[in-house]
Each structure stands twice: as C-alpha cells, then as structure tokens.
Amino acid sequence: MSIKWEGVMPAVTTKFTDYDTLDLHMFEHNIEAQLEAGVHGIVLGGTLGEASTLSDDEKGILTRTTIEIVKGKVPVLINIAEQTTKGAIKAAQKAEEDGAKGLMMLPPMRYKSGDRETVEYFKAVANNTSLPIMVYNNPVDYKVEVSLDMFEDLLKCDNIEAVKESTRDISNVTRIKNRFGNRLKIMTGVDTLALESLLMGADGWIAGLVCAFPKETVAIYELQKAGRIQEALDIYRWFLPLLELDINPKLVQNIKLAEVATGIGTENVRAPRLPLQGEERKHVLQVIENGLKNRPNLPDYKNLK
C-alpha cells in the first residue's frame, strides 16, 4: 500500500486574492500550519477546495505548489470530480504527472449514475492510473451511494484502497470492517461523526475544520489512538459547535471565516459563492468567537506513548 490511510488529512480550502487569482502565499501559510500541527496528508480540490470553480491549470498549480511545500513529509492527494469517464481518466493521469501521491474520487458529476455505471466509472480510472484511490462515498450530498456489494467488485482493482465514509451511518464503519477487514481502509469524512467513527474502527479522518484548527483536530486523533479517550472527548465536545459549521451548504464560507479568526486564511471565495452577510454571518462569527474564548489547552499530543 503506497499511502498509509490513517491519521488526519485536511481537505484544504483554496485561497484566492481580492482579484480572484490563486493566493499561493496564504495557501502556503495554511499548509505550513497543518504540517506543524502534525497532519498525515493533504487533500486538494475537494468540496472545501471549491473544486467546481477551479480550472485544470489551477489544479495543477495547487498540486505542484503543495508538493514543493510539504517536501515529502506527507502525501498529497487531489480530488477527481468529473462529468465523464474520459475526463476523470485525464484528470487522474494529469495528477500523476504533477506528482500527486493519491486520488480522492467522487462518482460522476451531474448525471446520477446507476450501480453498474458507477462501478465501471471507478474501475476505468483505476485501470488507467497507478495512483492509489480513495472512493468518496457521500450519497447525502452527491446522491450516489457506493454499496458494500459495489465495493466487492471495485476491490478487484488493487489500487482502490480506501473509502471516505460520508454516509452519516456510523454503523457502516463496522459493516465495512466485518466484510473487508483491512483491505478497505476507512477515512471518516463527516466532522460531526469523526471521533465516533474513529472509536468504531475508522483508520483516519478527512477533516474540514482542521483548516482553521489543525492542532485541536490532530490532538483528538492522537489521543483516541493512544487510548486517552476522555481527553479526546473533552476536546471534541468543545469542538462540536465549530464542527457543525462543516455540515452546512455554506461550509466553505463558514470555514474560511474560521481561518481568518485563527490567522491562517482569508475570507475570499470564488463566485457564485459570496461572503456571508447579515444574521447568517453574525451567527457563524458568534460560534467562532465562543470557540476561541473557550479554546482548550492541549496536551503534548505529538509525543504520546
């Protein structure tokens, strides 16, 4: 297995300047904060990364820039979210050329593919790249569910190695483990179910609020892994109101506001998204302010036995 599917991997936001170009300076500042906190990988171009608004050239720039920043310390993955099989294969091959170490991959966009179509889509990409693939299973937001029977077929492809489990069904972690053992690694993809999923056997966490609170996120993972459950739980209970900003249609704007508050991001989003305003903005800022006011003191989570 070429990637260790474990630990915290931020689904990072894409930083934009006031002129709607890539803000690589602030992007690097945030990635450095993630590395300092001890994350285990970086995921580019997901929902939080505003993937649907990025050009192919911008995706390549982000991939190559991130690889330069991390200097081999952690793997860099990029999300594949395409409308056609041909487009997905091309995107996967371009990611490999740019130096990405793995792919997070959604079912086809726009068209609601059937089970057979979904399986063939994933297999076609897997058969045309050597990169390891994490299937993003999020039927709540993307309306296509990858069932366990479908995974049975997909796992015939050696490089389909993991699932980003975002069904919101916590028992799915146990079902996957019971059926596939260690063959299919599980990365929980829902911030508000993260600790629960890890305690049920998920291997890692593709996280969102980590973009603004990297140390707290990694501390939860490392503490539960070391068996210090109550300490992990205490941080998680403090974190939950902030984590709920991730399960919202305006998650990008919410999390970018949190990044501003912690000094590692800007509020700039790409249209059609617009910055929050009015009561909606006031509410999000209040949640962030309360979180900062009660921010916990963290143990030395990097050196746990």
Phi-psi map region of 142: left, alpha, beta (phi>0 left; psi -120 to 50 alpha): alpha
Phi, psi of 279 (to 5 degrees): -65, -35
**pLDDT given at position 213:** 98
* Model pLDDT, residue 1: 46
First-last CA distance in the chain: 25
Query: Is 142 within a domain?
Result: yes
Q: How many domains does the chain have?
A: 1
In a domain, 220, yes or no: yes
116 occurs within a structural domain: yes
The sign of the torsion formed by the CA atoms of 58, 60, 66, 69 equals negative
pLDDT digits (tens, 9 = 90+) for 63-93: 999 999 999 999 999 999 999 999 999 999 9
Q: What is the mean pLDDT of each run of 10 residues along the chain (305 residues)?
A: 90 98 98 98 96 96 98 97 97 98 96 96 98 96 94 98 97 98 97 98 98 98 98 98 96 98 98 97 98 98 90
**Cβ-based neighbours of 32, under 8 Å, separated by 6 or more:** 69
Which residues sit opposite 207 in a β-bridge?
10
Residue type, 79: N
Cα separation, 98 vs 37, in Å, equals: 26
Distance CA 191, CA 273 (A): 22
pLDDT of residue 305: 74
- Specify if 2 maps to a domain: no
Is residue 91 in some structural domain?
yes
**What range does the domain containing 185 cover?**
7-303
Beta bridge partners of 22: 16
- Decide: 161 and 187 in contact? Cβ < 8 Å: no
Distance CA 164, CA 137 (A): 6
The 3-state DSSP class for residue 67 equals helix
Q: Kindly state whether residue 238 falls inside one of the protein's structural domains.
A: yes
CATH code: domain of residue 115: 3.20.20.70
| pTM of this prediction exceeds 0.75 | yes
d(CA 92, CA 102): 9
- Residue 297, in any domain of the structure: yes
